[in-house]
Structure 1
Amino acid sequence: MNTFRLIFACSLFLCRATNSGKSTLVKQLVSALPSCSAIHQDDYFLEPGDKRLTWIPELNHEHWDEMKAIEMDKLVSDIQQWMKKISSQSDHSSSILLVDGFLLYNYRPLNAVFSKRYFLDVNKSVCRSRRSERDYDPPDVPGYFDKIVWPAYLNNFEEIKDMTGITFLDGTIKQEDIFQIVLKDILSIIPSNH
């Protein structure tokens, strides 16, 4: 049976792009690690206009920063399918799956499958600045960050801040430094014959 590791690179922030550097980190790791795949929570958002989304009347906008805006069951199913596929392969190589997102640790069914867990943290001003440089579909409306995004992050962080087994990293340090820290940590759990 194959050895596989489910590695998780998670950021602090919310809604499609977390603005903490998780997507950049995952791309770097996929390029650097052999037998590495990635699943992105952002790919599981509901479509705009979906009836399951919460409508925020005072902003005339949908709420994208809560669990029910994401098809988490499908995400879990895709992770399980990857695990089954790796388990059924006959060679004995190691495989690594990186899963990135902003609400993964808040979804309890996922926590048991991670070998490593990382959380990239940025402060409110950095987060706001990075978010303002991104294009969203649908775009953020005025007031969305202060009314929804940041309060949702604080609530979600409160749920996970005392969990054991999470490595909290400063998302404001150089991307290369974050990459080297996480790469070294991942390489420490890969069998040396890989």
Structure 2
Amino acid sequence: MDVLNYLSKLATGYHTKSLRISGIAVKYKFYGKPVPFDPITMLKELQFKSQDPKCHNVILHEPLKDIADSKLIIGGKLKPVIVADFTINDCQFKVVRAVTTQDKLRYSRYEFYADGKIMAVFQRTYDYGKSFDSLMLGFVQNPDSPTFEGTSIFKGFHNSGQWILGEVFGHTQLWLVFDPKKVEMVQQQILLASNVSSDQKHFQ
């Protein structure tokens, strides 16, 4: 998704607001009524959930790009409805939220960029968890074994270091981490900043 090109095509109509979240200034661009989201907390929760002892680990035999293109991420370029920007350690982060409906299901997708390069993608399917089993089936060789009974979260590793995290949290959710080092760096800096700062609750 070429976010900058999309934004440049709109001469008017977008608004900017800002929030301070965990000590980090986040600037939003949006169109129409704002639907703010919290990219800082999303990254913090990813760190927490990826270390959950209940998380089942599986091996990925395909790189994330091939997996994403074939069966995970909803296809096509989606127009952003809101974009969040923030800076940590001189690194520019951009998070793009887009929404769509396919096969009568609603999806939201969040693309995380670091200095213009894709870092991670988060996708939520508003299905009350109905598609989680089929998602896990694509990665688990023996999902009917007692090991995976009642599983609601799993983590898949590729030998490149990239990984995915699938879970049911109200709905079916999926993280694809393309740049683990960058994700770990920003998570550590968020933790440091949150220890000394408080949140701003309303747009400025």
User: TM tier, shorter chain?
Assistant: under 0.3
User: What is the TM-score normalised by the length of structure 2?
Assistant: 0.27
User: What is the TM-score normalised by the length of structure 1?
Assistant: 0.27
Structure with greater proportional strand content: 2
Structure with greater proportional helix content: 1
